[in-house]
Amino acid sequence: MPGYVLGNFFIYSVINAFTPGPGNILALNTVTNYGYKKGKPLLRGIFAGYYVVQMICAVFVFGVSTFLPDVLGIMKYVGAAYILWLAVHIALSRPTAGNVEKSASFIKGFLLQFVNVKIYLFGITALTGYVTDYSTSFWVLLLFEFLIATIGTAATLTWVGLGVLIQKAYQKHCRVINMILALTLLECVYSMLK
C-alpha cells in the first residue's frame, strides 16, 4: 500500500473518529453528569462495542470480496459518496447540546455501538476506499478495523478527558474547524477515486 494511501486512511480515520458522533457525545455527557469513576462502565461498553462492530465490518467486507468481488468497486463509490456527505454535513453543522443519559451502564454503551450507523459506515468505507485495492485478506482487513477501533477509542477518550476544553473551543471556532475538516475530507474523496 503506497504511503499516501495509508496517510489518507489515517486522515479519514482521525477526522471521522474525532468528530461528534453518538459514542463521543454520550461519553462526554456521561462523564459530565456522573464523573469519570461512575461513567467507567458505560465507557467500557462503548469501547468493547466499537471493537465488536469493527470485527463485523471486517467479516462483511471479507465476505463481499470473496463471494461478490465486483461489488467492492461499487462500494468504493458508495463510500466516497458517504465521505462527501460527511464533509458537507461537517461544513454545515453547528454545535448542539446532547441528550443526558439517565444511567451509565456497560450494556448501554455496548448496545449503542450496534445501532451507531456512523461506525459501520466508517469501517466499511475505510476498508473499501483504502485497503481492498491492495489486500482482501481477512487478517489485513481485521488489522485495519482494529486500527479504526483503536483510533475511535482514543477519540472517545479525548472527548472524555478534554471534553469541556474541546467543547468550548469548538463552540467558539466551529465554522473554521468544520470547514478545515470538510476540505480535508474532500481531499480524501479525491484520492480515493483517482
Task: Express each pLDDT in 36-62 by its tens digit.
Answer: 788 889 899 999 999 999 999 999 999
Task: Express each pLDDT in 130-185 by its tens digit.
Answer: 999 899 999 999 999 999 999 999 999 988 886 556 656 766 777 887 787 677 77
Residue 109, pLDDT above cutoff 80: yes
Lookup: cell for 170: 469548538
Residue 20, pLDDT above cutoff 80: no
pLDDT band with cut points at 50, 70 and 90 for residue 100: very low
